[in-house]
Amino acid sequence: MKTYSYKDLSKQQIEEICLRQLEDDSSIQDRVKNIVERVKTEGDIALRDYAQQFDQVSLTQLYLGKAEIESIAAGIPSAEKEAIDTAYSNIKTFHAAQANSENKIETMPGVTCWRESRAIERVGLYIPGGTAVLPSTFLMLGIPAVLAGCKEIVVCSPPQKDGKTNCYLAYCALKLGIDRIYLVGGAQAVAAMAYGTESVPKVYKIFGPGNRYVTQAKQLIQSGTMTAIDMPAGPSEVLVLADETANPAYIASDLLAQAEHGTDSQTILVATSQAIIDQTLKQIELQIQDLPRKDIAAKAIENSYAVLVEDLEQGMDFSNAYAPEHLILSTTGFEALIPLIYNAGSVFLGNLTPESAGDYASGTNHTLPTSGFAKAYSGVSLDSFLKKITFQHITEQGLTNIGRTVEVLAQAEGLQAHKNAITIRLKS
């Protein structure tokens, strides 16, 4: 892990090391474009072929029905079942509290305006299943979709080697009341939900994290179809900001927790002393030896770096420039830093708040903007599954009060028909 000194970096150098651009992005774009186009034109035939090619599974049916899901879910061990129940409860509690109604506002006498929420009717949820199957993501996406009242929830996840799904995803489906799981992964799943196939319904908005192929597919369909996406959510990343009150062993565990997601994950340590960096690197060397996915984590750590800063405020400057998906403030002085946070997906405060708690069970959503998109995007929430529709009602008094204003502005813009729509009513 390379170390930079913040004071020695120019503005341009900071921008460069904050980039997450990968060398093979252009080749991935071409491959994803071909996959999306083939699914668009060939439908289920393409999906079965890609299942054979990428998942080494021959599928006669591209989905699991309710009976199969119930049968698979019955095999979940009791400890995992209890853990999912707890996570489900916490996530549901947090997201249910986000529901709110807005008051009607009389902007002037007789002119009333307000907004009402409506669920997006058809949504697609992508649940990754490559190097790791993520029932936690199913909960993070499924719970707010159900709470919002989405009429149709289409769930896609890559098939396992037996051509099914695992007991954890099946149990989550039962908890959420979802009775069909489509056995489709990668860019082809995104394309299937965007265009629709013989088996997979077309949706209006697609949610879910994934690898670079999934992210490229989401960005491609957003520009080429009427289907929206939640955000560009690519390889996972974390930035830990630490001072002398931090525990290097804790920091190392947090960095490795992100590193084990995939070789393209990125872990950044920003520290106020070289000693913290050195001690953390030693802890990484010790802890990584016991990880089943140590080869993946090691590759990610190799592509990551540390930044030495003079104080926590300078550290926050770098963090805001990087705009991390996950920001951990490993310091007892985190309260003073909260107002300085402008760009971050989700923030974890203090030495006893690991990012993995948010990944699974604290209640906040773990589907978050990556690659610097935290500068403009929020993580998934209940609002992500809702549309806000504005309403207005004008009485006779209101028309008299607002009419002249509209006429003058319409006339100034040269839009006579707009003016006439007011004038004809005032005359009558």
Residue with tokens 């203090």: 350
Which position among 95, 237, 260, 326 bears the catalytic label?
326
Between CA 88 and CA 289 the distance in angstroms is 32
Between CA 130 and CA 55 the distance in angstroms is 9
- Residue pair 367/134 in contact by the 8 Å Cβ criterion: no
Between CA 20 and CA 337 the distance in angstroms is 25
* Sign of the alpha-carbon torsion through 289, 269, 266, 249: positive
DSSP state of 133: B
Residue with tokens 């319904």: 201
How far is C-alpha 126 from the chain's CA centre? 11
Residue 83 tokens, joined: 């853990």
**b (16+ CB within 10 A) / e for 75-111:** ebeeeeeebbeebbebbbebbeeeeeeeeeeeeeebb
Residue 425 tokens, joined: 């009513």
How far is C-alpha 52 from the chain's CA centre? 28
Between CA 120 and CA 386 the distance in angstroms is 6
C-alpha angle 201/206/208, rounded to 5°?
125
| Cβ neighbour number for residue 302 with a 10 Å cutoff | 12
> What are the distances in angstroms from CA 15 to CA 132, 315, 319?
31, 15, 11
Which position among 325, 335, 407, 413 bears the catalytic label?
325
DSSP 204-258: SEEE----HHHHHHHHHHHHHSS-EES----S-EEEEEE-TTS-HHHHHHHHHHH
Active site residue 326: yes
Between CA 156 and CA 381 the distance in angstroms is 20
Chain length of the chain: 428
The residues that are catalytic are 325-326
